[in-house]
Each structure stands twice: as structure tokens, then as C-alpha cells.
């Protein structure tokens, strides 16, 4: 998966590791980087041999400082792909799991990319914020909606209305960070989480993710429970649904096919 200028995409078995690669500007994202990331995640979504993705930033200072304001201020034409900032923030139909490995600053759109992932693993020097109001903007790439759905509303509003910076440890206490580790252990921790997911049936994982997120759109618990989600139906029809109980009965590791 070579040929990208502003990001890197590396296969590790059924895991895809995506790195935002603009360390000279704290991995801030401009339209060309947005376009490359959108292509990377389009390909990830379509590839049956890739089951989980991790996204991180190059270097040891920043996951992503968000939108490249200097590029914007210089007159650069601004655009965001249909799939959203970083190719992720408007990607509502991706049933494969995503892990953000936040290796430093995650500000504005960078934090919004992380919030668009299913899990956030952070280095102990990570900093999160939605500082857009301080520069006359707003966190309109999903931050204003995902953060209050991830942590208590008063805590979310405390971040949103002040733009204040939150460290990794506080992020874990608030509930939007799953684990905090020393920076040198970050990718190992992200891969450990990915490995735990990869032990499960990918059909079950996709059914579970889709049911959770689409269930939020239902007006009641009963409606969420009774709705038939496409990935759940795919699980019912899959070979994995037969393989799992069979492997359990035969006391052996299952051989998932993802179909």
C-alpha cells in the first residue's frame, strides 16, 4: 500500500496500520492529506482480508493538530472528502473496528479523528482538546456530537465551551480513553487491543459494532433490540456462525473466515 505522500498504510496480517505522515506540521491535515486518508480507508473497507485498523501520527509529538490552519490562511483551497475529515469523521457505514493510537497532541480535527474510532489508546503525553472557538471556528467534524455521546454532558460541555486541554490520564477518567501507556509502549498496546479483537469472529465484531451505533438511532431500547441490522443478518448467514460453536465443542481455536 505504497504511493502515499502524506500518510503511510502498512499491512500486518489482517491488521492495517495507518500513520498520518506530516510531522513537520504536527500531523495537521490539509486537503491532499484528507484525500489520501479517504482512499486508504476506502480500500480498508473494501478489502476482505483486512479486519481491523489502527491510526496514529508520525513522530513523538502529535497524533494530529487537526486542520492545517496555516495552509488555510495562506489561501490554500479547503475541501473535505465525503467520508469526512481524515477520511473518517463522516464514515458512518464502516462496520470494521478502528483503534486510535494517540501519540501526543490530538487537537480539533485530530481529536475528532480519534473520536471517530471505536477505541482510543493514548500515550502518557497525549493531549486532547476541541479548541476551535479560540480561533473563531467550531468542532463541526463530529466533535460536538461524538464527545457528548462518549462522556457525561457536563464534562463534554466543559471541554467544548472552553477549548481546554485534557491530558491522557484525565481522558481515561472521563471515559473517552480506553488505556494510557508510556509512549514507547503505545503501538504495542494498540496492537494488543487489535489482537484481542482479531481473536473474535470478524462477522461477530461487525455485527456488534453496527448494532451498537445504529441502535443509538432508535427511539427506544425495544426498537433498538428488535431492529434487524445488515451485519447481524450477515452473521446469521455466515460460516463463522457454524465454526464458532463447532470449534468450542471440539476444544480447538476457531478458524474464522470472515464470511
Residues belonging to the active site: 112, 132
Provide the β-strand partners of residue 98: 53
Which of 56, 102, 99 has the alpha carbon at shortest distance from 195? Answer: 99
Amino acid at each position: 500500500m505504497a504511493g502515499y505522500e502524506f500518510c503511510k498504510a502498512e499491512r500486518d496480517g489482517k491488521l492495517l496500520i495507518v500513520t498520518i505522515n506530516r510531522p513537520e506540521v504536527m500531523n495537521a491535515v490539509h486537503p491532499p492529506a484528507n484525500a489520501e486518508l479517504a482512499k486508504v480507508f476506502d480500500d480498508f473497507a473494501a478489502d476482505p482480508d483486512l479486519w481491523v485498523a489502527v491510526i496514529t501520527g508520525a513522530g513523538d509529538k502529535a497524533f494530529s493538530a487537526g486542520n492545517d490552519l496555516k495552509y488555510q490562511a495562506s489561501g490554500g483551497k479547503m475541501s473535505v472528502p465525503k467520508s469526512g475529515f481524515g477520511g473518517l469523521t463522516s464514515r458512518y457505514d464502516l462496520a470494521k473496528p478502528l483503534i486510535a493510537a494517540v501519540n501526543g497532541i490530538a487537537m480539533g480535527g485530530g481529536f475528532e479523528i480519534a473520536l471517530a474510532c471505536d477505541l482510543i489508546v493514548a500515550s502518557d503525553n497525549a493531549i486532547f482538546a476541541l479548541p476551535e472557538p479560540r480561533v473563531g471556528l467550531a468542532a463541526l467534524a463530529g466533535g460536538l456530537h461524538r464527545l457528548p455521546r462518549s462522556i457525561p454532558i457536563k464534562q463534554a460541555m466543559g471541554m467544548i465551551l472552553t477549548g481546554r486541554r485534557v491530558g491522557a490520564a484525565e481522558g481515561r477518567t472521563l471515559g473517552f480513553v480506553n488505556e494510557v501507556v508510556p509512549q514507547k509502549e503505545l503501538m504495542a498496546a494498540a496492537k494488543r487491543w487489535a489482537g484481542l479483537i482479531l481473536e473474535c469472529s470478524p462477522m461477530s465484531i461487525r455485527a456488534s459494532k453496527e448494532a451498537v451505533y445504529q441502535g443509538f438511532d432508535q427511539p427506544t431500547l425495544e426498537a433498538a433490540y428488535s431492529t434487524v441490522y445488515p451485519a447481524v443478518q450477515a452473521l446469521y448467514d455466515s460460516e463463522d456462525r457454524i465454526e464458532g460453536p463447532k470449534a468450542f465443542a471440539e476444544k480447538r481455536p476457531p478458524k474464522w473466515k470472515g464470511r
